[in-house]
Amino acid sequence: MASLISCPHCGLRPKEEFSIRGDANLVRPAPDAGAEVWYDYVYLRDNPKGRHSEYWHHSSGCRRWLIVERDTVSHAVHGVRDAAGSKLGGEPA
């Protein structure tokens, strides 16, 4: 059985229509932050176990950015919302 994601704009869609784009909890450093801070932001990522919020792009559908909360162990999706106006992190990478 295919995994389905409930897009808030398109309804239930196969996960293959989406691209995972990274951690939705990252906060973009200030433009004048040092090189080490920018290096950490661009290259270093945690690999969480359990519930995690990620940016997903509905690339084969409405082309909207979404925030998907899923379990990184079971891949169960616990929530999906539009990323526009979200209070999490910075812009999707």
Report residue 6 as tokens: 């409930």
Question: Measured on CA atoms in the order 13, 17, 20, 21, is the torsion positive or negative?
Answer: negative
For residues 54 and 74, the answer to whether their CB atoms sit within 8 Å is no
How do strand 51-57 and strand 65-71 relate by DSSP bridges? antiparallel
Give 8-27 pLDDT, tens digit per residue.
999 999 999 999 998 999 99
Q: Which residues pair with 57 in a beta bridge?
A: 19, 65
Task: Find the CATH number of the domain harbouring 73.
Answer: 3.30.2270.10
Instruction: Give the predicted TM-score (pTM) of the model.
Output: 0.80
- As for how many domains the chain has, the answer is 1
> Is 92 a member of any domain?
no
Reported as half-sphere exposure (CB side, CA atoms, 13 A), residue 4 has a value of 7
> Is 93 a member of any domain?
no
Q: Provide the 8-state DSSP code for 28.
A: P
Give 22-56 pLDDT, tens digit per residue.
899 999 999 999 999 999 999 998 888 999 999 99
